[in-house]
Amino acid sequence: MRLLTLLCALGALPLTLTGQMWDPVQVGARVRLTIEDHRPKRVIGVLVGKSQDTLLVQLLPRAAPEGIPRARILTYEVSRERRGNAGRFAGQGFLFGFGVGIVGVAAGGCQCGSPVLATIVGGALFGGLFALPSALIGAFSSHDVWVRVP
């Protein structure tokens, strides 16, 4: 008997949710919206409220929230996490330094037993020198990972 009651309740659930829009984004989340204006405009802010037809978004830290009709929203994304840039910046710094090292050693005209090996070692040394400060700079910056909301 309990199973029959449960199945009836679950069967009626879609009927109660038919007119409602499901929105998994919680109030307080960081959102990125593309809004239909004269041309599409992208805004980033904090979701401070929502209704069935409007999102209330605070675009600047101390500004009043702005109501944005859902009908004007072209894309709706939420930030799931913030990631640091240390690894990416270190890799870019290494590649840049490696290139500078190769050019520098090759232009210097190495008079050693193996010019190819000297060029590679010089590039690696300069790559390491550029990677460390780049990683330090990247450690103090971060970026959002955006997920599209259906």
Q: How far apart are the first and last CA of the chain?
A: 38
> pLDDT of 119-149, one tens digit each?
888 889 889 999 999 999 988 988 888 889 8
Mean per-residue pLDDT, 83-106: 89
Give the span between the Cα atoms of 32 and 49, in whole angstroms.
15
Total residues found in the chain within this entry: 150
DSSP letter at 71? G
* Of 12, 77, 5, nearest in space to 43 by CA: 77
54 CB contacts (<8 Å, ≥6 apart)?
67, 68, 69, 70
- Give residue limits of the domains in the chain: 21-82, 85-143
Rounded mean pLDDT, 28-55? 90
- CB-based contact 92:61 (threshold 8 Å): no
Q: Which fold has domain 21-82?
A: SH3 type barrels. (2.30.30)
> Which pLDDT score, from 0 to 100, does residue 92 have?
93
Sorting pLDDT into bands at 50, 70 and 90, what band is 5? low
User: Which tokens is 107 given?
Assistant: 């232009």
- Checking if the pLDDT of 113 tops 80, the result is no
Q: What is the pTM of this model?
A: 0.57
28: DSSP letter: T
**Paired residues of 135 in beta bridges:** none
Residue found by looking up tokens 């909301």 in the block:
149
